[in-house]
Structure 1
């Protein structure tokens, strides 16, 4: 029975193929004009973008309580892209400004704290803790991100507290959240 079905399919295909081949297709030849060659004495060097991205990112995540939740992207010139998500005085997207010297100070603190050696996550798997997430652009151009919930060594906690205090003030929060003090 299988052979018969295969034979019928082959037979139908054999009759359909010539019918498909008989359809005439029209093609038009299009002449393409070549653009005249331009001579350029010297190309100007491509300038890199002044700010390819944020040099520092900061986020406070929500909890089941009233923890403030917001994100910030800090650029080298002090421009800050802020988004208030929950439990903060400024809700929604805002453009904020820091002195460029403050950004430089935060990056210097990251270097002095050896941010590049921090673990990617400090957590002891306790539920309902807010996280503080900091990303710092490294010399190779990549953004290294560290998540802090609890159980971090003293130097990590101090750095997170320093950055948190700087950016909480900008976000108009009066006190740092508990996750920065762990």
Structure 2
């Protein structure tokens, strides 16, 4: 009987030690930008960047502003090269901005580890008043970040109705 109690006690100590160590490790990787409730309500910019892969994945940046302006900047392997703009109406961009507020992106981690190196990534930049929050590897984070990226793609990829406003300067 004493051997059983001693074995259970030893097992309990091992389990609790392992859990404490795991909690310590995960807390160091969940750094967040602290954004007050007042600032979170002032979300006034959403930028979504699709990054390159080892192949020919399209890489571009789509920026949304509360007044309805959408700006598309090509990076690599895109159908439309350069900088394009279109005003889709404040209501449409405000709906997406409100979705991000409702999902509480201000509470997301700044970085989610990418376990597959060849996949194109998603990087978000949010401006809450004067505070900026950046989420890298968002496609490995909460599912709604990927869903919202697809929603932004639907309204932010240019067609012939968009106005070209500039060229992208490629590094030499």
Quickly name the TM-score band, shorter chain normalised: 0.5 to 0.7
* Correspondence list, 1:1-182, <5 A: 55-138=45-128, 140-148=129-137, 150-152=139-141, 156-172=142-158
CA shift in 2, pair 1:68/1:135, >3 Å? same
Cα offset, 1:161, TM superposition: 1.7
> Conserved in 2, the CA contact under 8 Å of 1:137 and 1:144?
yes
Alpha-carbon distance between aligned partners in 1 of 2:138 and 2:65, rounded to the nearest angstrom: 25
1:81-119: CA deviations, max 9, x gaps? 221122222111112222211111111111111100100
Which has the greater radius of gyration? Answer: 1
Q: Assess, with a 3 A threshold, how the Cα gap between structure 1 residues 119 and 77 changes in structure 2: closer, same or farther.
A: same
In 2, Cα distance between equivalents of 1:69 and 1:126 = 17
Q: How many residues align?
A: 116
Question: TM-score under structure 2 normalisation?
Answer: 0.59
Q: Which has the higher contact order (CA 8 A, sep 6+)?
A: 2
Partner SS state of residue 163, structure 1: helix
Higher helix share: 2
Q: What residue in structure 2 maps to residue 49 of structure 1?
A: none
Structure 2, unpaired ranges of 5+: 1-43, 160-172
Aligned-residue Cα RMSD (Å) equals 2.2
